[in-house]
Structure 1
Amino acid sequence: MPLNQIFRGQPRAMPALLAAVAASLCLSACVVAPLPGPPPAQYQGYQGEPEVVAPVAPPAPYAEAITVAPAPGYIWIGGFWSWGGGRYAWNAGHWERPRPGYHWAPRSWAQGPHGWHQHGGRWER
């Protein structure tokens, strides 16, 4: 049904309706973004991987239930907190086959310049 038939006899209602539609279209174009602030600095970590720097300390680690190894000789690599998108996220632990001549250096967080720096998470000789 055309709008002129809906608002027949109510000439003042049409401009109000058009103003409401225009306002809703303008508001639908709003963007919700995180608060502005300096992004975390990126530093070169182990073997050229970027070292992650977070502005706040990570939460306490989860107490993970370690499942049965998929095969004899596998080792458990514990979970860790990762930083991205302005928040921490838990990455669950997993089983991995060890590399001969290497040991696992678990990920850790340490307070340093510009915030909390993530280190480790690699096989070392």
Structure 2
Amino acid sequence: MKRQLMLAAAVLAAGNLSGLVAPAQAQPVGGPPPYARRDGPPPPRYEHRPPARPGQVWVPGHWRADGPRYTWAGGYWAHGRPGYRYVPEQWVRGPHGWVLRPGRWTR
């Protein structure tokens, strides 16, 4: 038993000395996020907004990345949240390309 403990301690010490890292720490740092796109989306489409509904908020449509292309996701009515306003999806240009900032509720 004592020999097994000594062997395990030696293996751990050798790992620390040789610079081994856990797989979670071995990820590359920096570089573009996997969802960044080089080309920006087309201009937003005009959508006819249906008549207002009580207690509902219109969520406008937006372009969605679909492989190498963009596809249009149409707008829809969502349940409103008292005291909040809806900020729609928005494509923003970052240092590594275009990224879709998801829609969210904010005060």
Where on the TM-score scale, by shorter chain, does this alignment land: which range? 0.5 to 0.7
Within 5 A, what are the aligned runs for 1:33-52?
Answer: 41-42=33-34, 52=35
Supply the distance in 2 between the matched residues of 1:90 and 1:54 (Cα, whole angstroms). Answer: 16
Aligned to 2:21: none
Root-mean-square deviation over aligned CA pairs: 1.6
Aligned to 2:41: 58
Deviation for aligned residue 1:57 = 0.7
| Equivalent in 108, 113, 117 of residue 90 of structure 2 | 108
Deviation for aligned residue 1:41 = 2.3
Supply the distance in 2 between the matched residues of 1:104 and 1:117 (Cα, whole angstroms). Answer: 19
- Residue 117, structure 1, aligned to residue 93, structure 2: no
Deviation for aligned residue 1:114 = 1.6
TM-score by length of 2: 0.63
Deviation for aligned residue 1:124 = 1.6
Partner secondary structure for residue 56 of structure 1: coil
Within 5 A, what are the aligned runs for 1:68-107?
Answer: 68-69=51-52, 71-107=53-89
Q: Deviations over 1:81-117 (max 9, x none)?
A: 0112111110000011111222101111111122111
Partner secondary structure for residue 41 of structure 1: coil
Structure ID, larger Rg: 1
Percent sequence identity over aligned pairs: 42
Structure 1 residue ranges (4+ consecutive) displaced by more than 2 angstroms after TM superposition: none
TM-score by length of 1: 0.55
